[in-house]
Each structure stands twice: as C-alpha cells, then as structure tokens.
Structure 1
Amino acid sequence: MLRPGALDPYFRGEIPEGVDPDDLRIVEPIHDEYRDRDGRLEQMDAQGLAAILLFPTMGCGVEQALRADVPAMVATVKAFNRWLEEDWGFAYEGRIFAAPIISFADVEEALHEIDYALERQVRVVCVRPAPVPGENGQPARSLGDPAHDRIWAKLAEAGVPVAFHLSDSGYTGISAMWGGPADFDPFHIDPFTKLVISDRAIHDTIGSLIVHGVFNRHPTLKIASIENGAQWVPLLKNRLKKLANQQPKHFTFDPVAQLVEHVWVAPYFEDDAAELAEHIGVERVLFGSDWPHGEGLAEPTDYTKELGGFDDAGVARVMRDNVLDLLGMTAADIPS
C-alpha cells in the first residue's frame, strides 16, 4: 500500500516543480499493525494516541455496487460487519473503536444490525452519505425520509453517533451527464469529475437530514462527517440561512443552529481548521489523520501543527475532547 503521508504535497497543492504527481505514490509492504489489533495498540502507544476510530475503506463501495440487489447488499454488509467485529472488535480494549456499516436500504435489517452492534459495545456506526437505494425497482429515498425514523430513533436512544465517511455515493452519475465516466474509480478520478462531485454528497446528505426534519424528530442524534473535508460547511450554512428566510413556513426551526448543534466535522489536514471553527464552533471540529493511508498524515499527532489558530484549550478540544463528547465518553473511560 502507499506509504503513510506519501501524498501530503499532492493534497496541499504543493508538489515541487518538475515532480510528477505519480512519483509521490510510494508503495511499501503492508505492516502488521495495519491488520492486527494488538500490533495496532503497540503502534498507537508509540504514536502517543490514547484511542482511535476505524472506518471502512473499500467497504464503503458495497451499497453502490449492489444498489440493484438490496438482499445481496444487506448480506454483504452483514458479512463485513461480522468480519470487522471478529477481527478488530467494535471497542477493543476500550481503545480501538471500529465502525460497522449500517445500510438503510432494508429498515428491518438495519435495526437488526444495530442491535447486533449494540450488544458488542459499539461506539460509532458508519453510514454512506447518499440517497438510500429503493427495493424492487422503487425510487431512492432521502436519508431524512420518515421511513427511516426507527433507525434514527434507536441510534439516538443508544447515544451512538452516525459517521458519514467518504464513499462511492453514486455521484459520478452527475459527471456522466456531462460526458464523464459513470463508474467511480478512487485512484483515477478525471479533473472534471472531481470538480463536479467534490463535497456534493456530504453537503446533500447533511442538508437532507436538516431540511427533511430528522433533527426535529430525533433531537439527541449526533452526526459526524469523516474524510469529507470542510469546504462544504460554509456553503451549506449560507444556503440553509437563505432558504429559511425565503420559506419560513417550512422552517419552524433554525436550520443553521441544527447544523451547529448536531454535526461534528473532521476537516482534511490541508483545510483551515480555524476557519471551520468560525462556522460551527471549536467544539465541533474533529482531529483526523487517516493514518496509515497515503493521503493521510505520516504521523497522526503532526495534526497539531495545523492548529496554530487555536489556543491550548482549543487544541485539546480538537485533538481529544470533541471526539469524547461525540462518543458520550470522558477521558477517564479510556484505559491509560
């Protein structure tokens, strides 16, 4: 796999003159700590990390790939979650919190998966930021559709946050309307497709939850945006404010206040975290390193170098306290 942090200059837009971007893709053997949870704990100790959240990578493409066959999709997601629990655990040693995938395509199966995860001390679940595939040729649904209320209610009652991780959300269909490729290839995204789809899925997903009243019906629900960057936040915030002014009868609540209250955001390391805090408050900014991916940081705690706009209390919030608040935990809950 790619060496951790190999693509740092690429994502910062700071590739040295004369360097081919493809030459940054330095491949190295897969290390034990990438696949073994005890090895990962040792690595975490060396990195100065008390605890981590783990999210699926290729697993995030299952729903789109099997959108036309919901039973197969459900079976595959279930199999992935069983492997994840057996291999990593959902709360291993109280320090490694792996997120199972919850698909909303089949509501009853989603409820069963949540019960399975809750019985095994799950702390966070992963949901695809995308419309929900319909069964038997039925049209797709918004995540905010009341048909999903029992899922949201169960998660809210359990205090388990929902993380929307960057996924194949089917948005290449939009670029295909302009002559671009219809299939998602995470390693070879043409520039126009990237221009069209970047940030769209998470922007629309969070917008659907707010506009379609999910937080009205489930006021304790917590949401996190993971590996979607932060540039979508001010755009959505401004649009929601304008919509509420234009259509006040629809918005019996303050949509911007709901965004700030319910949504935590992990910016990309190249994003301006201080600027994000101006939009949603320092209490909603999450540290994320994406280690050991090539597009992440070589050393997770190097993220503190990106936090020059924060005082010591703000740095502590971003690096630790905010994720504890998201998970409903305290520092005392993490083994020392």
Structure 2
Amino acid sequence: MSSPAQIKSADRPSLYTGPIFDADTHFWETDDAWTKYLPRDAAEKYGISFKAGDDGDFAMYVGPRKVEISADHLFEDGRVPAPGKLHEWLRAMKEGKAEIDLHVPKTADMMEPAARVKKLDSWDVRSSILFIGNMITAISFLDDPRYAYPVLNAYNAWMYDQWRYNYDDRIYTAPIITLDDLDEACRQLRGVVEKGAKLILMPMGPYNGKAPAHPDHDPFWAIANEAGIRVVFHVSEAIYMKHHMAVWGEPVQQSRIKQTAFVWMHGYSERPVIETLSSFIFWNFFARFPNVKLLSAENGAEWVPAMLTKMDKCRGIAKNGYWPGGQLKDRPSRIFAQHVSVVAYPEDDLKSIVDQVGTADWLLMGSDYPHAEGVEEPRMFADEACRGLSDGDVHKIMYENGMRFMGLPY
C-alpha cells in the first residue's frame, strides 16, 4: 500500500542514514517449488500449477480451482510487478493510461539468497525477515488438512533448500505452519526448528472452532516456547471470515479488482489481525508461553492505538467475568508492548500512532521488496513514514526494534 509521497524528493536528503532491519520482504518461487517434494496423491487434488484456463486468464490453480487474485498480476512469460511501483501504476490508471506496463523480469536477488544479501548490503540492511511469494494467495484454498499438510510440508522443504530458514543471520525465512491438526502441526514445528527456523508464518484466525491460544493447542506452543519462536501473521485471505462475509452477501477469494470496499474493510484490513492478537492476550497466552513473540506484518499499524484502548476497557468490564485462560495480571496494552510487534505501512501516520500509544518500541519497518505495494528501497520508508518523529524513534523503527525482535545484537 503506497502513495506518491514515497517518491523521495531530489532536493532533500534522506531522513535516516543508519543501518536497517527490514521486517517485511518476499521472494519469488522457482519452478520446482511446487513439485520437488510434493507427494503424487496431494498433487492430484491440491497441487499448485500455473496455466491459462478456459477463460483465457493465466493464473495459479490449486488442483482444479483457479486462484482469482493471481490473474491480476501473473504473466505467462514470468514477469512480475516492478518493485515499489504501485503508486506510478495507480497514477497512470487515474490518467487513463490503461496500457502502461510496469512488469519486469525476475532478478536473481528475488530468487536466491546470495544475490539477495548483495542487495541488502547495497541498502545497508543488516538483517531481514523473508516471506513467501505466490503461495500467499493459495493458502486459503488449502482447506482439507489431509492434503494441506503434504502441500505445505513440500513447500517448506523447498524453501529450506532454496533459502535456508536462517541464512547467516541476514535472512530469516518463515515456513508456513497451520494448527488445523495438532499432531501434524507439532511435527511441522519440530521439523522446522531442527532446521534452524527462528520464526513461522501462520494464517490468522481460529482453528477447528478454537482460538489458537486455547489450552488444547498447548503441546504445540510448548515446542514454540522452548525454541523461542516468533509467530508472524502476514496479510492474506483470512478465510475464517468467509462465513461472516457471506451473511452480508459478499464473496471472498475474488480478484482484487472485483473485491468490494466492504470486503477490503472487514474481510481484510485490521479486523482479522485485531481478533487474532487480542485473542492471544485475552486467553492469557503469555503467562504460559512467555518466550513466544508475535508479529503482525503488512497489516499496517493505524489500528493499534484503538485496539489497545479497547482491550484495556474490556478487561475492566470483564474483570469479574469468565477468563478461560485465567485472569490477566497486567493491562492488555502492557502485555501487548512486551510480546507483540507490528510492521507499519509506509503511508501510516507514525507520528500520530506513536503519540497515541506513547512509545515506538513495538513498531518495525518493512519494504515489502520485491512487491509493487512497498517502497523501492528500504531507506525510503523513513522518508515517507517517519517525518516528525524523534531521531531515536526513527532509529528504533528502522533498525533497533527489528534486531531486538530477532534477538540480534544492535
């Protein structure tokens, strides 16, 4: 999500010139990501492919089902949206230039770690968090655990081969874990921890009608706690919202071009992440598992002040009520500050957010490289988002908070 303001003015210096921790980057998959380890029975029903369908669209398919959003940005020749160029694209569309082409060939740094580290060096990015590529649009289609686990495990295995889960403390890659089946989830988590994973990516929302922090899931969280795992909730189709959207007559899993403002506001936006994070806090999760840290990525940060105020109020209202995980011993806002971090959007009003919350210690920057929605270079995040903040807070957001989140010296 970007605005023209992210274009750095030629007549003013960069706001921030220090080292950077980039908490939101992505890769593009190589062709064998989808096939290298995938069992045949899973491939037949839930295998991921890219093809032109009967409708003429070139798109991703999960088994026989078309992933509608993928047709908005996939090209048969392998080109991808140019990094950080969304603002130019939107401006061209507004001006009626429908034929503008801002797609580019994939470069080596988008697909393998040695080239990415060279790119990080050129930007003075000391360390970074790396998320999945096209798979992010397919996760909500993996709705049968019998096949979802083989597909995700195969993908995670390719990810480890291609990127490692920790590449020299420069790139921390997040394998995908789901709690749909507790025993399988525990096996997944043990496997990636043994291979060096420091953080995992989980879909937002409940699992099998229960909160992620429900005590029934404690065997999984005990493994995460022992390993000091960071759990990331990155923006994606929060598929648990589909039934609520249906009540309003609003379909999900649609092309973003066809998606209504109502779905953007309530199916995406802040609702899934607020529900997920507040659930962990209200279930008193961190009293049981204090070594687990949570991160919201690419969900913005403007929702945080209102969420903290509301949680504190609701704790008071429910103080003598039922607390399924036990009564909280501290204010929810303080629990949040100790255990949760948030990657801001470059267009967020960080000065207002920090003034309302009272601290910048929980805020991280993210470039979203190499996606179109972010900034072209990580340092440009400060030029857009951090105007008006103290030098100390800018340093925290651009570097210190991310290094601390990953347990790295700074």
Whose strand fraction is larger, Structure 1's or Structure 2's? 2
TM-score, length of structure 1 as denominator length: 0.88
The Cα shift of 1:150 comes to: 1.9
SS in 2 for 1:300: coil
User: Aligned-pair RMSD on alpha carbons?
Assistant: 2.3
1:213-292 equivalences in 2 (<5 Å): 213-249=284-320, 250=323, 251-253=327-329, 254-278=331-355, 279=357, 281-292=359-370
The Cα shift of 1:81 comes to: 0.7
* Residue type of the alignment partner of 1:321: E
Q: Does 1:19 align with 2:95?
A: yes
Percentage identity across paired residues of the two chains: 26
Aligned to 2:229: 160
1:103-149 deviation line (CA, Å, top 9, x unaligned): 111222222222222222222111111222x3xxxxx2211211111
Q: Does 1:94 align with 2:94?
A: no
Change (3 A) 1:316 1:114: same
* Residue type of the alignment partner of 2:244: I
Aligned to 1:334: none
Q: Does 1:131 align with 2:206?
A: yes
- CA distance in structure 2 between the partners assigned to 1:103 and 1:22 by the alignment: 40
Name stretches of at least 5 consecutive residues in structure 1 with no aligned partner.
Answer: 135-139, 332-336
Change (3 A) 1:129 1:192: same
- CA distance in structure 1 between the partners assigned to 2:227 and 2:316 by the alignment: 34
- CA distance in structure 2 between the partners assigned to 1:223 and 1:58 by the alignment: 23
The Cα shift of 1:187 comes to: 5.4
Aligned to 2:55: none
Whose helix fraction is larger, Structure 1's or Structure 2's? 1
Partners of 1:5 and 1:294 within 8 A in 2: yes
Tell me which structure has the larger Cα radius of gyration. 2
Name stretches of at least 5 consecutive residues in structure 2 with no aligned partner.
Answer: 1-79
1:259-316 deviation line (CA, Å, top 9, x unaligned): 2221101111111123333326211110111011000111111112121232222222
* Residue type of the alignment partner of 1:259: F
Aligned to 2:122: 46
TM-score, length of structure 2 as denominator length: 0.73
Change (3 A) 1:38 1:320: same
Partners of 1:7 and 1:24 within 8 A in 2: no
- CA distance in structure 1 between the partners assigned to 2:83 and 2:283 by the alignment: 39
Partners of 1:260 and 1:280 within 8 A in 2: no
The Cα shift of 1:324 comes to: 1.4
Considering Cα pairs closer than 8 Å and 6+ residues apart, tell me whether 1 or 2 has the greater RCO: 2
- CA distance in structure 2 between the partners assigned to 1:186 and 1:53 by the alignment: 26
